[in-house]
Amino acid sequence: MQSTETVFSAQVRKNRLVRRAKKALRLTGFHAVMVILSLVFMFPFLYMFFMSVMTNTQSVGNPEVIFFPTEWHFENYASVFDESFVRYFFNTFLIIACNLIFVPLACSFVAFGFSRCRLAGKEALFAVVLATLMLPAAVTQIPLYVIFVDIGWINTPLPFIVPALLGGGSMNIFLVRQFMRGIPASLDEAATIDGASKFRVFFSIYFPLCKPILIFTMIGVFNGTWNDFMGPLMYLRKPDSYTLALGVYYKFAGRLTEENFPNIQMATGVIMVIPSAVVFFIFQKQLIEGVSVGAVKG
């Protein structure tokens, strides 16, 4: 009897070890695949960084194309920050700062009206707002361009700032509205009983509670504005009004000179990637929470 129990216990331990070994093997394989995929996706960025610290001759493939630099020239990054780059950066920063303020405020204000205010036909109006998501951007480019030309906004940052005051975008309105519908209605009912107006309810209750989804919105606004190229290409003609994306494009679009060798171009690319990467790593938790919350609320 004791021998049978001993054999059974040994078999149980053996099965447990086999299961643990299989699990460890699966995890090892999974992580190995993830590391390989990460390296594949990171390769262009690594190559961009390594080329950014090469000499001029090495960056153009003379005498041969190489991946790792033989000499590290970090002074290439200092040469990027000339007068024109600083001006482009300031123009971009102005547009981003205004949008980071106006878009969350406007979209949350509109979403509050759709989710908590009584208005005849608001569901039909909200359907119209959502229907604008199906309009391709190319359809509205010419009408918007004509409007901005007629009111004299070309070569100014106004085409990128003023629209942010007019609702903040249909997708942002939808996400914030879905989030607000998950907030208990008893909060604003209690505030209304105490004599608070709709504006007081919005600014004192709903706006602070919408912080997760508003951070998600601000991250999208930052990345969209920082990387925007088509908008400035349409509305900006004078070099003094260029944003960073457009200014860098025109700066390196000419013939090969001392100022636009591939190493300088890659150094500029690294600098332009850094802000988006920093924002993601700092707010990645809020970004993931904003996606999940916006998808399930309501």
Has residue 246 been placed in a domain? yes
Q: Give the closest residue to 211 by CA, choosing from 91, 73, 105, 67.
A: 105
112 and 9 both lie in a single domain: no
Has residue 58 been placed in a domain? no
Has residue 66 been placed in a domain? no
142 SS3 class: helix
The 3 state secondary structure assigned to 195-238 is CCCHHHHHHHHHHHHCHHHHHHHHHHHHHHHHCCCHHHHHHCCC
pTM of the full structure: 0.82
Has residue 135 been placed in a domain? yes
Q: State how far the alpha carbon of 225 is from the alpha carbons of 101, 145, 231, in Å.
A: 13, 18, 9
85 and 199 both lie in a single domain: yes
User: What is the domain range of residue 28?
Assistant: 2-45
Has residue 282 been placed in a domain? yes
Has residue 258 been placed in a domain? yes
120 SS3 class: coil
Q: Give the closest residue to 108 by CA, choosing from 208, 21, 39.
A: 208
140 and 281 both lie in a single domain: yes
Domain count, the chain: 2
106 and 194 both lie in a single domain: yes
122 and 205 both lie in a single domain: yes
% the chain with pLDDT above 90: 27
Which residues of the chain, if any, have pLDDT below 50? Answer: 1-2, 294, 296-298
32 and 151 both lie in a single domain: no
253 and 152 both lie in a single domain: yes
Per-residue pLDDT tens digits for 155-211: 999 999 999 888 888 889 998 998 888 888 888 888 888 888 888 888 888 888 888
Has residue 70 been placed in a domain? no
